[in-house]
Amino acid sequence: MAAHNEFGIEGEDKAANYLIGEGYTILDRNWKSGHKELDIVAEKDETLIVVEVKTRKSNKYGNPEEFVTAAKIRNTVLAADAYIRYNRIDLPVRFDIISILKTGDVINHIVDAFRSPVWYR
């Protein structure tokens, strides 16, 4: 496996462990719908939480959360819609970002980081 893939998996492991420590129940990791993927799907307080994880070695080129682009948000929302339909979930949905800086081992959990830009029924 490529080093950058291992680095990303390590970041997702840290994010999942962090969420568990905060009382979240992890429902799925790396759930795929076609070419779209959800890093972590969790539940807490009767809310479905979709978490995008961004890990970087440093913030030399910006903080990790700054790399969540409009296209990434749109694909995450579309994948979340597929997940909800596939699993027949009837819960409110929240989109979070967990950014991890390897330098200093910093975890930043951004709750309700973005809203769905996609209008669907």
pLDDT, block means (10 residues), the chain with 121 residues:
66 95 98 96 98 89 88 94 96 96 87 78 43
Long-range CB contacts for residues 78-81, cutoff 8 Å, separation at least 24: 78/33, 78/36, 78/118, 79/31, 79/32, 79/33, 79/36, 79/37, 79/38, 80/38, 80/41, 80/50, 81/118, 81/120
Q: Say what the pLDDT of residue 121 is.
A: 43
Q: Identify the structural domains of the chain with CATH numbers, from first to last.
A: 3-114 (3.40.1350.10)
Q: What is the C-alpha to C-alpha distance for residues 83 and 108, in angstroms, rounded to an integer?
A: 25
User: Under the phi-then-psi rule, with left for phi > 0, alpha for psi from -120 to 50, and beta for the rest, what region is 70?
Assistant: alpha
